[in-house]
A and B are shown apart, each in its own frame.
Chain A
């Protein structure tokens, strides 16, 4: 008897538990919305001021905020800044932070944080260095107001503070920003629209961000990096999937929602897949190609030989090889990104003339003695490797003595810094790519710099070029700037700091049956404004 009662109780209890469980399962759960994005690289470092890696910049704009942000037309607008004034002589900028800015730990953002961050960024970033070269003081007025005092009316202050290309001038906590520039900031406490969940970080695989509930977005519509950064998902996972094919299949299967850089080979497949949309990332093409010449050593220490190299480059050949679909590329003979205000293709009839025979003749006439030309040819890069092969083929067909140094990209990056003779471990030329936003104007485009030892690798040396670039930075009007851009184009054609092999855009792909509200931003993808259907 006792046993049967006990058994009945057990059965009833079990039934009650099962009913409870089924009721729980049947209840409409408030599902968390998680946006899964496959990125071009993994978030490997948390400090956007420490490295120029684009992914560090993407992480930076997730968790930090910037004083200014550029819109679709590359015009800077206040972001963390509420009000600001510029003095008549354009040497004094007074800025006040807007209300409601808080760090993820709840403490308010102050001008001490801003000043320390600008100092750190200004010591590392090229645009920051250029700007800080004219900054005589960063003065604190009160907890929310500060002044930037300039020695000269440098005209690119707001453009620099709102730039999208790395290093992005994000504002950090003072104690983080006081970290010496070559040491990494290892904390991830910002004031931006997302908070990093550091305990879920698996470098080389996944980085997880949660919506910052305390973030106060601006009222304006989100446009580029400007406007209201309203987060509409609970979490964002930035994933690193190394294999291009796997990324594509994962998007098709719906395992990821967003693919930052689909391989160009797979774009037609993605375009024809229902539920997937391929879109451009902004008004400015995302990449341009560069053939960088080393001005220190023969034969490219001779300007006439450098100029002859123009005739070896048929941009269509390069672009067809690395992009394919003309919808995504543009032949461009301007030293400034085509499609932007200062682009100028003056001289394209000369520098765009593809003629291998003419190139060989001009080089010989200029004194080329068939000495070997050391080309650093990367073997493992999805665009630089095929572009290098196109160039090598053209050089060989022209009868040049080419010594192709085939090494991985990491080795190219190391060897190109060496000033030794090519045969002693140096180099004569290498192929690389840059972001479209890095060449928006002659002052930003550091590959145009010709400051000899202080110039970028390749070390062009021409004081006139740097003088023109400085004049551009101080120009008061758009007409003045455009006139200077034209002069710089002519000077560059003569100097040949590099030879462009065209520009292209890298579209992104996403599940349009699940996501809406994607904000196209040139240079960096952003994850605010995006809604996801579960």
Chain B
């Protein structure tokens, strides 16, 4: 197992290298120029050229790439073109809101989806199953921003129970933090809830038709015990896989949620940096996202061995 983990960790290096090259080239080849944005309407060509020189954007692309790569090797993601702050500082400022939003979303999604999927499979082809699937389809169909606006209107404007926007840090207490995350987590969580519920239902239906389940039922075991201990555990591998994929998808999904609920997280940082062509931030963030995705995949793979003893690395 240890050898497998080490092997997988080493395998991330070429993946990250490819990501680095792609990100760098895509950004440089995309239209747009931060120097022109900084210089403004009244700038002359000479003004823009001077700013480009100051930012090092007048250098050939390969020179810029080598400099950037050298800095990365030393753990330096660079400095924002606009704020002049280190990218690592900017990412650190935004990490907590995004992680907390992702965690809250997963809690909402998983706690709703698994019972929903299990019930749907257990009562397959009944009204309970159909209701569960209608809920899932709705979860998929309603865009996050629309769900967000509706939730804000009901719970923040009409009922005044929860804040419209913003994120309250854990430093200010657990409840204020949770309060600021309820609406965004529900808005974002419904999509993932739908995804996980459908996979849970499908996986459970497959397991429930197996002989050992029929045997367990024949032995007179309680339904609850059959469903949760015998069926759900054996149906867990695809469910965990989809939860893992969901975490990776969340990284991109938080962008809209962070915008609608004004949560100062990594998603907003990415969008703002792309629109401003703040290259060092975009490059740094995509590297961080890629590394996170690789790690999540590794963790999913490792979890299979715990869930299914037949799987060994």
B276 engages A166 (CB within 8 Å): no
Interface size class of A (residues with CB under 8 A): 35 or more
Q: Contact check: which of A44, A125, A204 meets B264 at CB < 8 Å?
A: A204
Interface residues of A in 224-279 (CB under 8 A from B): 239, 241-243, 245-246, 249-250, 252-253, 255
Set of chain A residues within 8 Å of B43, measured between Cβ atoms: 52, 417
Closest 9 CB pairs of A and B: A52-B40, A205-B264, A414-B33, A411-B31, A203-B83, A410-B32, A44-B82, A182-B54, A126-B42
Chain B residue nearest in CB terms to A411: B31
Partner of B262, one of A184, A246, A253: A246
Is B152 in the interface zone, CB < 8 Å from A?
yes
Closest to A166 in B: B40
B-facing mask of A401-415, CB < 8 A → 1, else 0?
000000111110111
**C-alpha gap A95/B199 in the complex (Å):** 77
Q: A246-B164, A249-B165, A456-B41 are in contact. Are A414 and B84 (CB under 8 A)?
A: no
Which residues of chain A from 23 to 60 have a CB within 8 Å of any chain B CB? 42, 44-46, 50-53
CA gap between A253 and B261 in the complex, in Å: 13
Does B236 belong to the interface (CB within 8 Å)? no
Encode contact with A along B263-294: 1 for CB under 8 Å, 0 otherwise.
01000110110011100000000000000000
Task: Determine how close the nearest CB of chain B comes to the CB of A250; give it in whole angstroms.
Answer: 5
Do B37 and A184 touch (CB < 8 A)?
no
Among residues 66 to 117 in chain B, which have CB atoms less than 8 Å away from a CB atom of chain A? 80, 82-85, 90, 93-94
| Interfacial chain A residues near B85, Cβ < 8 Å | 203
Contact indicator per residue, chain A 128-172, by CB within 8 Å of chain B (1) or not (0): 000000000000000000000000000000000000001000000
B50 CB–A CB distance under 8 Å: yes
Given contact pairs A246-B259, A408-B32, a sample of 7 additional A-B residue pairs in the complex whose CB atoms are under 8 Å apart: A52-B42, A182-B51, A202-B264, A204-B268, A253-B163, A255-B165, A414-B33
- The answer to whether A243 and B39 touch across the interface, beta carbons within 8 angstroms, is no
- A182-B50, A243-B259 known; A51 vs B40 contact (CB < 8 Å): yes
Name 16 A/B residue pairs within 8 A (Cβ), A-sorted. Answer: A45-B82, A46-B84, A182-B54, A184-B84, A206-B264, A246-B262, A249-B156, A249-B157, A250-B165, A252-B164, A255-B165, A255-B166, A408-B32, A410-B31, A410-B37, A410-B275
For residue A446, CB closer than 8 A to chain B, the reply is yes
The residues of A with any CB-CB pair to B shorter than 8 Å are: 42, 44-46, 50-53, 125-126, 166, 182-184, 186, 202-206, 239, 241-243, 245-246, 249-250, 252-253, 255, 380, 407-411, 413-417, 419, 432, 434, 446-447, 454, 456-457
Query: Are B38 and A50 within 8 A (Cβ)?
Result: yes
Known A-B contacts A203-B83, A203-B85; A415 and B166 likewise in contact (beta carbons under 8 Å): no
B93 to chain A: which residues have CB within 8 Å? 202
Evaluate contact between A255 and B37: CB separation under 8 angstroms. no
- Which chain B residues border A245 with CB–CB below 8 Å? 149, 260
Q: Is the CB of B268 within 8 A of A205?
A: yes
CA distance A203 to B264 in the complex (A): 9
Tell yes or no: B48 within 8 A of A by CB.
yes
Does chain A have a CB within 8 A of B45?
A: yes
Minimum CB–CB distance from A126 to chain B (whole Å) comes to: 4
Q: For residue A51, which residue of chain B has the nearest CB?
A: B38
Is B252 interfacial (CB 8 A cutoff)? no
Contact A243 B262 (CB under 8 A): yes
Residue in B39, B50, B164, B277 whose beta carbon sits within 8 Å of that of A410 in the complex: B277
Q: With A44-B82, A255-B166 as known contacts, state yes or no: A203 contacts B259, CB within 8 Å.
A: no
A293 to B274, CA, bound (A): 28
